[in-house]
Amino acid sequence: DYFLTLDEPMNNITTTLGQTAELHCKVSGNPPPTVRWLKNDAPVVQEPRRISFRATSYGSRLRIRNLDTTDTGYFQCVATNGRKTVSTTGVLFVKFG
């Protein structure tokens, strides 16, 4: 049967400089959805060994290592499987230690 569900809203994260943050996009669907990540409405650009996202059993995970204050922002995951789209937004706030 055809469906697309947001299983859980995205978590907000407050952390400090140099830490690693993980944002989780928890979606399920049939057919399995593709997930896009946006930061402040612009596509997230992967950076080798620092910013990466990948498909997971629950949807998608975005990981940002060695956080900088410029990483602060609104992160949105948009999942679509052709007929339907769902999205959720979380805030990442990076503060000085």
Question: Which residues fall within 8 angstroms of residue 29, CB to CB, at 6 or more apart?
Answer: 3, 4, 5, 79, 81, 84
The CATH number of whichever domain residue 14 belongs to comes to: 2.60.40.10
Each residue's pLDDT tens digit, 14-35: 999 999 999 999 999 999 999 9
Q: Is the pLDDT of residue 97 over 90?
A: no
Chain segment 68-88, per-residue pLDDT in tens: 999 999 999 999 999 899 999
Number of compact structural domains in the chain? 1
User: Which domain does 76 fall in, by range?
Assistant: 1-93
Spatial CB neighbours of 86, under 8 Å, sequence gap ≥ 6: 4, 5, 6, 27, 33, 78, 79, 80
How many degrees, rounded to 5, is the angle at CA 64 between CA 25 and CA 16?
A: 110
